[in-house]
Amino acid sequence: MTSDSMGSVSLAPEALAQPRLAHAALEAVITVDQQQRIVMINPAGLSMFGLTSEQALGMDLGRLIPPRLRAAHQGHVQRFSDSPEIERPMGQRGQVLGLRANGEEFPLEAAIFKSDVVLPSGTVSYTTALLRDLSEFTRMSSVIEQLNQRLRSVFERAPVAIWITERDRVVFANSACARLVGLQEPGQLVGRSIFELLAPDSREPVRSKLQNLEQTEGVSVLVGSLQRADGALLEVEMVVAVLPDHEHSFVQMVINDITLRTRERQNLLNSRRTLREFSASLVAAREEERRRIARELHDELGQRLTALKLEMIACQRDHPNLGVGERAQLMLDMLDETVASTRRISMDLRPLMLDDLGLADAIDWLVKEFRRRTGVEVDIRLGEGLRELSPHLATTLYRIVQEALTNITRHARATWVRVELGRTGDELRLAIRDNGVGFPNGRRSRNPGSFGLLGIRERVLMLGGQISVGNAPEGGALLVVRVPCVTPPVSARDDDLREAAEPLFDESTRGSLE
């Protein structure tokens, strides 16, 4: 090492090992002698402190430290030099402050180590510092802290209850969450397990779903019961999202109180169940009244008209007056028309063959009458085992076919219809398809005052069945009904009640009609 008259110091080439490595380092590397004068500084160090090489070499190290800290820093370096320690890694002293040439102070982190160089004149000791500028890191930390504060403020002011958990422990909760569970402060929730806050019957289902969520990313909705501090139970819906961390251990839950909605929904289901039971009783009463009137028309009025016809024939035979005979013939013709009208009205009210011969014969007669009145060709395919159906089930299926054919007559403009009814195991499947115009856009919207398909839907739901309506792939409309051979009680059909507002369409759709 040599010194000139200006006091600058230069380090002999053999004084430092691997100087090129120091110059290539991204962190600042500064080496000082025993008098704490800089004998080597790499480009990163010059850039960090805003110095040139001529300015830095020979400079006292203390000039890179703010004046108020120089004495303490010099003592620290001296103690390290006198200690047996060879190196002191970054972070052991925490952050220190540096001073740039323009007077700006900035935080930095330092690691120091000793090195001895053997020269012809003897052994010389040096101290090398590895410095990292933390000003950008500090600025970013400040920005992150500000963002965290803003995010926390957003969560705090959110009108809905939110908590964040690590595993099952609450690490953050907002004020709305504290109010929801009946606590004064959100901090009273921090550290508690969410399973302490859930009702006992909701703990295991929620635990199982959360375990599955930890293995995936995305949003899921859980429903359970929350127990307030006062012991009251709330029905809640939890929108759960796994936060993006390495172990997927942080979970955010947005909690909505659905107690009132659940109660109103249950009341609505109960009301609809009651209405459906009432509707079923009205339908049964109407069918019984139709059966009675049809039987009376057939047995009472039909027999009396037949007897009257026989009397008229006898009167015509006993009084062969030409004028009387002509009038009697006119009366006989009117009687024939009245008998035919009576029979038709009786069959429209309720075909007696439905009770006497069964569903298959009744549908066969209905289809023949439809073909005769409309001229539409009908392909009918009836399976086996239809005679063993209960009267209620047979009547309902007959009315569905009757209403469907009526709708085809009114709206479809079809020239061909297929009616299929068969039994598969414990289920009956009825499919009615036509080659008409179908439904616009594949959907069927009910016109004001039109209740045909709505009536079919209600009949199917009364039987605990499924219905789908839409356009067939080949064109035209398609109605498919599936009903169990044994009608379940109304209380067992809650799923059908809940699905009453779902859209219909393909055969796989379980649904309703709007």
178 C-beta neighbours (distance < 10 Å), count: 19
Confidence of residue 514 (pLDDT cuts 50, 70, 90): very low
- Give the per-residue pLDDT at 482: 93
125 and 13 both lie in a single domain: yes
346 C-beta neighbours (distance < 10 Å), count: 21
Number of separate domains in the chain: 4
38 and 95 both lie in a single domain: yes
241 Cβ partners below 8 Å, 6+ apart? 218, 219, 220, 251, 252, 253
For 275-309, write each residue's pLDDT tens digit: 767 776 776 777 677 777 877 777 777 788 888 88
377 and 514 both lie in a single domain: yes
For 158-213, write each residue's pLDDT tens digit: 888 888 888 889 988 888 999 998 998 988 999 999 898 888 888 888 888 777 76
Which of 56-65, 148-157, 193-202 is predicted least confidently? 148-157
What would the mean pLDDT of 203-230 be, rounded to a whole number?
Answer: 79
399 and 329 both lie in a single domain: no
Query: Do 114 and 142 form a contact (C-beta atoms < 8 A)?
Result: no
In a domain, 489, yes or no: yes
- Give the per-residue pLDDT at 153: 78
361 and 501 both lie in a single domain: yes
Residue where a domain terminates, one of 191, 222, 257 = 257
- Give the per-residue pLDDT at 6: 31
What would the mean pLDDT of 305-333 be, rounded to a whole number?
Answer: 78
CB-based burial label for 234 (10 Å; 0-12, 13-18, 19+): buried
Residue where a domain terminates, one of 222, 257, 292 = 257
What would the mean pLDDT of 125-131 be, rounded to a whole number?
Answer: 86
* Domain CATH for 422: 3.30.565.10
Q: State the Cα–Cα distance between residues 507 and 477, nearest whole angstrom.
A: 12
Confidence of residue 381 (pLDDT cuts 50, 70, 90): very high
In a domain, 205, yes or no: yes
325 and 345 both lie in a single domain: yes
Residue where a domain terminates, one of 237, 257, 277 = 257
- Give the per-residue pLDDT at 380: 92
pLDDT: is 118 or 104 the higher one?
Answer: 104
Percentage with pLDDT > 70 across the chain: 82
Confidence of residue 69 (pLDDT cuts 50, 70, 90): confident
* Domain CATH for 207: 3.30.450.20
332 and 381 both lie in a single domain: no
Q: In DSSP terms, which residues pair with 219 in a beta bridge? A: 241
127 and 249 both lie in a single domain: no
Confidence of residue 3 (pLDDT cuts 50, 70, 90): very low
In a domain, 148, yes or no: no
Q: Does pLDDT of 245 surpass 70?
A: no
- Give the per-residue pLDDT at 78: 76
382 and 479 both lie in a single domain: yes
In a domain, 25, yes or no: yes
3-state SS record for 388-408: CCCHHHHHHHHHHHHHHHHHH
Confidence of residue 415 (pLDDT cuts 50, 70, 90): very high
345 and 396 both lie in a single domain: no
pLDDT: is 24 or 441 the higher one?
Answer: 441
- Give the per-residue pLDDT at 280: 67
359 and 345 both lie in a single domain: no
Q: State the Cα–Cα distance between residues 193 and 360, nearest whole angstrom.
A: 64
290 and 432 both lie in a single domain: no
In a domain, 151, yes or no: no
Query: Do 61 and 9 form a contact (C-beta atoms < 8 A)?
Result: no
In a domain, 405, yes or no: yes
Is-above-0.75 flag for pTM? Answer: no
Q: State the Cα–Cα distance between residues 161 and 165, nearest whole angstrom.
A: 13
Q: Which domain holds residue 385?
A: 354-514
- Give the per-residue pLDDT at 247: 61
In a domain, 12, yes or no: yes
